[in-house]
């Protein structure tokens, strides 16, 4: 019977990305095993992003930075700053043309009069006005200066000029304070005085903060809050808003030609001619430079062909400044949570929905993994929880078993339970690697509980429940993992750890009565708890002290019963041993005879293991001739087995061999040493 599906139109509210916290945790599991550092694994996951099973993409920081660079270049190509005051210059030219027309009309009207004196006065006045209009400077500041003292014939032209000056005055203030300039429209002298008081109080508040005193932010906002429609909630938030606005203005100044900057300076002196206001503005600029290192150093090379107007140029500068701030955030965030500091609405406006949605998702991954119990924050650091450790082990086991094929020698699955097992009439949920002894009654009950009564009964893998079997014999295993520097250098450490974690997961889930311990060995050997494997890191030791590790493993197994074995994973021959005085001796540079002492000491320890019925199974990673020769000697003395494998297929061989050993089936995976 075909499944039924319901479709609906996309309305923007559906979740487009379908990876949950556990899946994202899986994404960084191999990194965590390779480097043993959760914070670094999180950082690499953030950098590369992730893709869900439907092909939906959660961008990583690398992809976001690429889109940001493209958007930044698009803004730089938008236009040039030649037109910053062009619209005002064009408006001034229109006002002058209107005034000339009014002057001509005044003379024409006078000529119709019979009053000669009137006609003479009109001609003289027109001559004087035309002379001044003809002598107008070409630069914007010069025209403004001349028109400020010009006696207009046209009242309409004069009104348009005054309105234009108000607009220009507002734009000049907007260069420094976008929010404040909105409060300056049609300001009365009283309003201007209040604004100067606000500027003075703002500088005093900053001075108090810089001296380590209470800045009295709430008092300032209660008095002057209407100047700041952005409604900052703290002193720091207010300063950040001012920084962004003032830096955009300074960036536009820095990006202008010297001639353009000089025009702006002259206009500011003419239109903002209040000395007290200019003094407070200069003081604020100094305070901001003191609070924010590098303040006012931004500069952009606008590369477009079309001149931009003042408002367009200022908006472009603000956008470029915010992109620069966002790039600083994306370059190296201290943690995923830091991404939440970005204004997602502005990110959406500047870079689009995909980047904003991915940033939001990335900013919450720690919170989501913490809620799932996979990681936790403790004493200022992030660490994997025991549940997270089990999750990584389970994933490692699934990954390795999924690579096994049915026709591979040493396949772990058996058609039935062989000798050495007995039923204990208990059941468990099916997992990768389990014998498929299906308990049909419990499996069907699970499906009915999930779907309800009715036919047909649909089964999913989650419904499968199998009979649990108990081994009559118990095994004791010590895993010896080479932690010498060459394992890290040649990218073997991560795959070897993954196999170790998978083996631990297999034993704890399938053979809980077994003993399992882990030894790392470099210059010396030391025991770690199996749950420390995930975050274990290479200590950078020189030397491969199998002698010490075998001795420790033998003593650890002495008190255990059942089948005893040592599983050793290594990529090099022994180069260190423990002297009779109990000190480690690294012999790699001591010559052939010294190295033979290490080999002999290690082989003697292997013989002791054999006498105590401890078998040593060695997995050699891309071994050279020296390691092969040594392992052949050790295998002949101990009676264990040796496998020549690589980082890519180590897990397949080791797990198959381990399961074969448990089931007492004489099979060997890989190439057995002779």
pLDDT tens track for 275-291: 677 777 778 878 888 88
Question: CB within 8 A of 306, min separation 6: which ones?
Answer: 78, 79, 80, 83
Residues counted in the chain: 674
Residue 669 is predicted with a pLDDT of 35
Tokens of residue 581, six digits: 């005085």
Residue 177 has pLDDT above 70, yes or no: no
Domain boundaries in the chain? 21-78+325-384, 81-301, 429-467, 472-672
CA atoms within 13 A on the CB side of 104: 7
Residue 566: strand, helix, or coil: strand
Question: Considering all CA atoms of the chain, what is the largest pairwise distance in Å, rounded to the nearest integer?
Answer: 140
Report CA-CA distances (Å) from 382 to 19, 335, 377, 385, 391. 21, 10, 4, 9, 17
Strands (E), 483-588: 515-521, 525-528, 563-570, 576-578, 584-586
Residue 421 is predicted with a pLDDT of 40
Residue 397 is predicted with a pLDDT of 77
Average pLDDT over residues 520-533: 91
2 CA to centre of own chain: 43
CB 505 within 8 A of CB 658: no
pLDDT band at 662; cut points 50, 70, 90: low
Other C-beta atoms lying within 10 Å of the C-beta of residue 517? 20
Q: What is the pLDDT of residues 449-496, one digit of tens each?
A: 888 887 888 888 788 888 765 444 578 999 999 998 888 888 888 888
Tokens of residue 171, six digits: 């734009």
Q: What is the pLDDT of residues 488-526, one digit of tens each?
A: 888 888 888 888 888 888 888 878 888 999 999 999 999
How many Å apart are CA 483 and CA 576, to the nearest integer? 13
Q: What is the pLDDT of residues 16-28, one digit of tens each?
A: 455 678 888 888 8
- DSSP H or E segment with residue 398: helix 386-402
Q: What is the pLDDT of residues 181-208, one digit of tens each?
A: 444 445 567 767 887 888 889 899 989 9
| Average model confidence (pLDDT) across the chain | 79
pLDDT band at 670; cut points 50, 70, 90: very low
Question: CB within 8 A of 16, min separation 6: which ones?
Answer: 56, 357
Q: What is the pLDDT of residues 352-405, one digit of tens each?
A: 999 999 999 888 888 889 888 898 888 778 888 888 888 888 888 777 666 554
| Cα separation of the two ends of the chain | 57
Residue burial 407-437, b: 16+ Cβ < 10 Å; e: rest: eeebbbeeeeeeeebeeeeebeebbbbbbeb
CA dihedral 308, 310, 316, 322 (to 10 degrees): 170
Q: What is the pLDDT of residues 297-308, one digit of tens each?
A: 777 788 888 888
Question: CB within 8 A of 662, min separation 6: which ones?
Answer: 471, 475, 511
CB 619 within 8 A of CB 629: no
Tokens of residue 431, six digits: 């997992």
- Give 51's strand partners: 57
How many Å apart are CA 509 and CA 386, to the nearest integer? 14
**Looking at per-residue confidence, does 15 or 45 come out higher?**
45
- Give 527's strand partners: 519
Q: With the C-alpha atoms ordered 324, 330, 332, 335, is the resulting torsion angle positive or negative? A: positive
* Residue whose entry in the numeric block shows the structure tokens 């962004």: 244
Nearest CA to 176 out of 232, 227, 216 is that of 227
CB 8 within 8 A of CB 367: no
Choice among 43-47, 75-79, 170-174 with the minimum mean pLDDT: 170-174
How many Å apart are CA 298 and CA 208, to the nearest integer? 28
Tokens of residue 197, six digits: 């008081």
Strand 515-521 and strand 475-482: the pairing is parallel
How many Å apart are CA 249 and CA 318, to the nearest integer? 8
Strand 381-384 and strand 421-429: the pairing is unpaired
Backbone angles phi, psi at 78, to 5 degrees: -70, -40
386 CA to centre of own chain: 25
User: What are the DSSP calls for 102-137, one per residue?
Assistant: HHHHHHHHHHTSS-HHHHHHHHHHHHHHHHHHHT--
Evaluate the omega torsion of the peptide bond into residue 187 and state whether it is cis, within 30 degrees of 0: no
Nearest CA to 647 out of 489, 504, 524, 505 is that of 489
CATH of domain 472-672: 3.40.50.410
How many Å apart are CA 229 and CA 513, to the nearest integer? 68
**Looking at per-residue confidence, does 443 or 540 come out higher?**
443
How many Å apart are CA 521 and CA 480, to the nearest integer? 7
Average pLDDT over residues 227-235: 82
Q: What is the pLDDT of residues 559-618, one digit of tens each?
A: 898 889 999 999 888 999 999 888 888 876 666 677 889 999 999 999 999 999 999 988
pLDDT band at 67; cut points 50, 70, 90: very high
CA atoms within 13 A on the CB side of 237: 13
How many Å apart are CA 448 and CA 463, to the nearest integer? 9
Residue 434 is predicted with a pLDDT of 66
Residue burial 112-146, b: 16+ Cβ < 10 Å; e: rest: eeeeeeebeebeebbeebeeebeebeeebbebbbb
Report CA-CA distances (Å) from 472 to 266, 424, 660, 662. 97, 11, 15, 10
Nearest CA to 256 out of 301, 295, 294, 314 is that of 301
Nearest CA to 512 out of 470, 565, 481 is that of 470
In the chain, the percentage of residues whose pLDDT exceeds 70 is 82
Q: What is the pLDDT of residues 338-351, one digit of tens each?
A: 888 888 999 999 99
Q: With the C-alpha atoms ordered 430, 436, 442, 448, is the resulting torsion angle positive or negative? A: positive
Choice among 184-198, 218-232, 431-445 with the minimum mean pLDDT: 184-198
pLDDT band at 432; cut points 50, 70, 90: low
Q: What is the pLDDT of residues 68-93, one digit of tens each?
A: 999 999 998 888 877 777 777 888 88
Tokens of residue 655, six digits: 């797990």
């Amino acid at each position: 019977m075909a499944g039924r599906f319901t479709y609906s139109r996309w309305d923007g509210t559906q979740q487009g990305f379908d990876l949950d916290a556990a899946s994202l945790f899986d994404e960084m599991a191999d990194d965590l095993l390779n480097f043993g550092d959760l914070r670094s694994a999180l950082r690499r996951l953030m950098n590369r992003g992730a893709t869900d099973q439907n092909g939906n993409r959660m961008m990583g920081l690398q992809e976001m930075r690429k889109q940001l660079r493209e958007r930044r270049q698009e803004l730089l190509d938008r236009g040039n700053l030649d037109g910053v005051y062009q619209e005002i210059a064009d408006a001034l030219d229109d006002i002058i043309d209107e005034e000339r027309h009014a002057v001509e009309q005044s003379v024409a009207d006078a000529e119709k009069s019979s009053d000669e004196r009137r006609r003479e006065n009109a001609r003289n006045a027109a001559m004087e006005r035309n002379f001044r209009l003809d002598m107008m400077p070409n630069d914007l500041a010069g025209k403004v200066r001349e028109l400020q003292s010009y006696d207009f014939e046209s009242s309409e032209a004069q009104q348009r000029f005054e309105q234009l000056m108000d607009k220009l005055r507002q734009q000049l203030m907007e260069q420094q304070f976008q929010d404040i300039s909105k409060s300056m429209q049609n300001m009365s002298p009283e309003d201007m005085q209040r604004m100067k008081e606000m500027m003075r109080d703002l500088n005093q508040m900053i001075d108090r903060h810089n001296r380590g005193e209470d800045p009295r932010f709430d008092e300032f906002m209660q008095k002057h809050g209407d100047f700041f429609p952005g409604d900052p909630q703290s002193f720091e938030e207010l300063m950040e808003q001012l920084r962004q606005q003032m830096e955009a203005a300074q960036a536009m100044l820095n990006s202008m030609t010297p001639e353009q900057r000089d025009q702006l300076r002259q206009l500011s002196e003419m239109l903002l001619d209040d000395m007290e206001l200019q003094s407070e503005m200069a003081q604020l600029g100094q305070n901001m430079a003191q609070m924010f290192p590098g303040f006012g150093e931004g500069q952009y090379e606008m590369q477009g062909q079309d001149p931009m107007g003042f408002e367009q140029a200022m908006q472009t500068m603000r956008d470029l400044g915010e992109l620069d701030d966002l790039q600083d955030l994306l370059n190296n965030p201290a943690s995923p949570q830091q991404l939440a500091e970005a204004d997602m609405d502005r990110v959406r406006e500047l870079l689009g929905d995909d980047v904003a949605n991915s940033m939001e998702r990335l900013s919450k991954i720690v919170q989501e993994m913490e809620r799932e119990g996979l990681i936790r924050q403790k004493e200022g650091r992030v660490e994997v929880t025991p549940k997270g450790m089990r999750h990584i082990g389970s994933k490692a086991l699934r990954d390795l078993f999924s690579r096994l094929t049915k026709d591979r020698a040493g396949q772990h699955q058996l058609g039935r339970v062989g000798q050495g097992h007995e039923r204990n009439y208990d059941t468990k949920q099916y997992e990768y690697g389990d014998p498929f002894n299906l308990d049909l009654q419990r499996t069907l009950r699970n499906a009915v509980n999930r779907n309800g009564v009715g036919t047909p009964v649909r089964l999913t893998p989650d419904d499968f429940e199998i009979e649990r079997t108990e081994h009559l014999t118990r095994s004791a295993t010590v895993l010896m993992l080479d932690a010498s520097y060459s394992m890290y250098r040649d990218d073997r450490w991560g795959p070897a750890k993954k196999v170790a974690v998978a083996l631990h997961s297999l034993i704890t889930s399938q053979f809980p009565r077994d003993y399992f311990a882990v030894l790392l060995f470099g210059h010396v050997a030391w025991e770690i708890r199996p749950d420390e494997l995930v975050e274990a890191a290479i200590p950078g030791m020189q030397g491969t002290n199998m002698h010490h590790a075998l001795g420790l493993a033998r003593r650890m197994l002495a008190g255990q019963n059942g089948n005893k074995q040592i599983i050793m994973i290594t990529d090099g021959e022994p180069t260190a041993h423990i002297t009779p005085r109990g000190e480690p001796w690294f012999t790699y540079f001591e010559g052939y005879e010294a190295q033979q002492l290490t080999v002999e000491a290690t082989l003697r320890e292997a013989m002791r293991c054999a006498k105590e019925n401890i078998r040593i199974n060695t997995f050699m990673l891309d071994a050279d001739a020296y390691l092969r020769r040594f392992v052949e000697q050790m295998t002949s003395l101990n009676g264990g087995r040796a496998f020549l494998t690589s980082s890519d297929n180590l897990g397949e061989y080791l797990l198959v061999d381990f399961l074969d050993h448990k089931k007492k089936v004489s099979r060997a995976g890989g190439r057995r040493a002779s």
